[in-house]
């Protein structure tokens, strides 16, 4: 009996131990389930609970990706630090009414302060800047030309055969340092903004550093104090609003978007005062039928090239005719015949 009782006790103890072990395992399982839902699970419970090494591998990869991203950000910041725009997309101002109105404003300001003549922009340079960029070599210039050409179909699709008219009204300044003619409010500004954003995206997608930190504000600059450091040295530190007060709401006229140029800020300007132009796109057809200066230059070049080509072709044809087989020998034969006849006549 004692042995049986001892056996029963041992059996009960085993059952109790088994029950405790089972409860312990369920408790640990429940705790694991709750921990896995937490963001730090893969870090905190990995070693204690024998979780596979995949999270650790993923963690290492994540760290490597972070290092790569950090390196890319540093390189990008360095590029941005070294970023000095030297090219820009320009919408040239060719409307004579607008140009005449701006020259009237310039002269009115100079009459009040002759020193500011040094700050005036020449009328051949009047334009709207659509986008600035950095092109460091000939290859990048060619990439820039390709990007400009890609803009043409987008702009024409946006305008759907209509003209984009840009009306200019009023005068404004940037910090009393740059004087400009304002673009009047209207739907045309939204269209111009969309063109500028697409240009920025197109150039950047080709790896070109483009744009700047300031938001795009289309304007037509006619004077800037930075043109002459002499002005600041001689006490001219800002543009006095009183100088252009009577032109605050003046209507200067309308420019139709007809051409966009890729221009250099640093290369020598053209004889008409406009910037050195690498390439252009023409949008639609210009009203009035009269070609502008740039068109006349291109037309003159084509005429000269055609004339030269024609002269070269004519020269080649003449050279080929002289060297054709048979012609030279026939001439010699005729000459020989004439000499023979002359000799016979002398004998007679």
The pLDDT of 99-105, averaged and rounded, is: 97
Percent of the chain with pLDDT over 70: 61
The order of strands in the sheet holding 178-183 is 219-224, 178-183, 165-174, 251-256
Distance CA 121, CA 181 (A): 12
Structure confidence at residue 77 (pLDDT): 52
Q: Using an 8 Å Cβ cutoff, are 281 and 258 in contact?
A: no
- 228: nearest Cα among 122, 123, 117, 114: 117
Helix or strand (DSSP H, E) at 304: helix 293-322
Structure confidence at residue 153 (pLDDT): 93
What's domain 87-287's architecture? Alpha-Beta Complex (3.90)
65-83 pLDDT, tens digit per residue, is 666 666 555 545 545 568 8
Q: Residue 122 pLDDT more than 60?
A: yes
DSSP assignment of 121-177 equals: PPGGG-EEEEEEEE--SHHHHHHHHHHHHHHHHHHHHHHTT---EEEEEEEEEETTT
Q: Residue 321 pLDDT more than 50?
A: yes
Structure confidence at residue 191 (pLDDT): 94
The pLDDT of 264-285, averaged and rounded, is: 93
Q: Residue 250 pLDDT more than 70?
A: yes
**268-273 — which CB contacts under 8 Å span 24+ positions?**
269/124, 269/125, 270/124, 272/124, 273/122, 273/123, 273/124, 273/125
Map out the domains of the chain as residue ranges.
87-287
The pLDDT of 123-132, averaged and rounded, is: 95
Structure confidence at residue 35 (pLDDT): 34
The pLDDT of 266-286, averaged and rounded, is: 90
Its pTM surpasses 0.85: no
Which is more confident, 287 or 202?
202
Q: Residue 196 pLDDT more than 90?
A: yes
């Amino acid at each position: 009996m004692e042995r049986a009782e001892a056996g029963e006790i041992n059996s009960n103890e085993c059952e109790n131990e088994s029950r405790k072990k089972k409860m312990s395992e369920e408790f640990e399982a429940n705790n694991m389930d709750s921990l896995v839902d937490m963001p730090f699970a893969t870090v905190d419970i990995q070693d204690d609970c024998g979780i596979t090494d995949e999270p650790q591998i993923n963690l290492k990869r994540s760290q490597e990706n972070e290092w790569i991203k950090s390196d890319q950000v540093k390189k990008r910041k360095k590029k941005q630090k070294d970023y000095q725009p030297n090219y820009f997309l320009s919408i040239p101002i060719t409307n004579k009414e607008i140009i005449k109105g701006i020259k009237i404003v310039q002269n009115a300001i100079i009459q009040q302060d002759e020193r500011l003549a040094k700050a005036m922009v020449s009328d051949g340079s009047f334009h709207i800047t659509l986008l600035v960029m950095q092109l460091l070599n000939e290859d990048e210039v060619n990439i820039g030309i390709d990007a400009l050409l890609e803009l043409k179909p987008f702009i024409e699709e946006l305008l759907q055969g209509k003209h984009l008219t840009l009306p200019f009204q009023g005068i404004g300044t940037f910090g009393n340092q740059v004087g400009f003619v304002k673009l009047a409010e209207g739907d045309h500004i939204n269209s111009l903004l969309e063109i500028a954003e697409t240009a920025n995206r197109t150039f950047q997608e080709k790896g070109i550093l483009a744009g700047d930190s300031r938001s795009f504000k289309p304007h037509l600059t006619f004077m800037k104090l930075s043109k002459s450091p002499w002005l600041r040295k001689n006490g001219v530190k800002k543009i006095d609003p009183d100088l252009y007060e009577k032109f605050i709401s003046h209507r200067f006229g309308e420019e139709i978007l007809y051409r966009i140029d890729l221009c250099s800020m640093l290369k020598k300007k053209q004889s008409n005062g406009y910037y050195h132009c690498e390439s252009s796109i023409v949008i639609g057809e210009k009203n009035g039928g009269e070609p502008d200066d740039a068109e006349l230059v291109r037309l003159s070049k084509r005429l000269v090239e055609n004339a030269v080509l024609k002269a070269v072709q004519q020269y080649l044809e003449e050279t080929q005719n002289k060297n054709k087989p048979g012609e030279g020998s026939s001439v010699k034969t005729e000459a020989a015949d004439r000499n023979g006849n002359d000799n016979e006549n002398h004998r007679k």
